Amino acid sequence: MHLYETHLPVKDSERSSLFYRKVVGLQFAYRDPARDIVFLWIGTGRRSMLGLWGPGTAFGQQPSKRHFAIAVSLPKLLRAGEQLYAHHVITTNFRGRRTTEPSVIGWMPSAQLYFSDPDGHSVEYIALLKDAPDSGFIGSLSEWRRRSLTKRSS
């Protein structure tokens, strides 16, 4: 199983579509001509989709902030902070502190960066790590790597 789609209410579907295509790298799938809704593919193979619902739709009139995560490879995650910064997008770690370095949640373990879209929704790039879990760890990727090297040396 995998998550196929998620949807976000947005103030301007065209602006949000441009952000997700140009900054995040999603691919245009479809714009519903009868409603203010844009669909974008996440990744390849039409396995995942994001729907952007403009203010003229019932769902688009629900302005609460949402969160979703996009799985990426670790090499892509390592480049993401600087790439997003080049688009004037601020990235943060798990604790909400500004950084371009991914943070790690040890119980999964996973590395991630967070940023906001033009409507303030929280977007996460996440890469699962192949290391053994450590449920007590939350910190930077560099700290995780140092701890992992120390554990292997012991």
Residue 92 CB partners (closer than 8 Å, separation 6+):
98, 99, 113, 114, 115
pTM, two decimal places: 0.89
Sign of torsion over alpha carbons 59, 10, 28, 24: negative
Residues 139-154: tens digit of each pLDDT: 999 999 998 777 766 6
- In the chain, CATH 3.10.180.10 sits at 1-63, 65-154
Provide the residue count of the chain: 154
Domain 65-154 has CATH 3.30.200.20: no
Q: Which fold does the domain 1-63 belong to in CATH?
A: 2,3-Dihydroxybiphenyl 1,2-Dioxygenase; domain 1 (3.10.180)
pLDDT per residue as tens, the chain (154 positions): 678 999 999 999 999 999 999 999 999 999 998 899 999 999 988 999 999 999 989 888 887 899 999 999 999 999 999 999 999 999 999 999 999 999 999 999 999 999 999 999 999 999 999 999 999 999 999 999 998 777 766 6
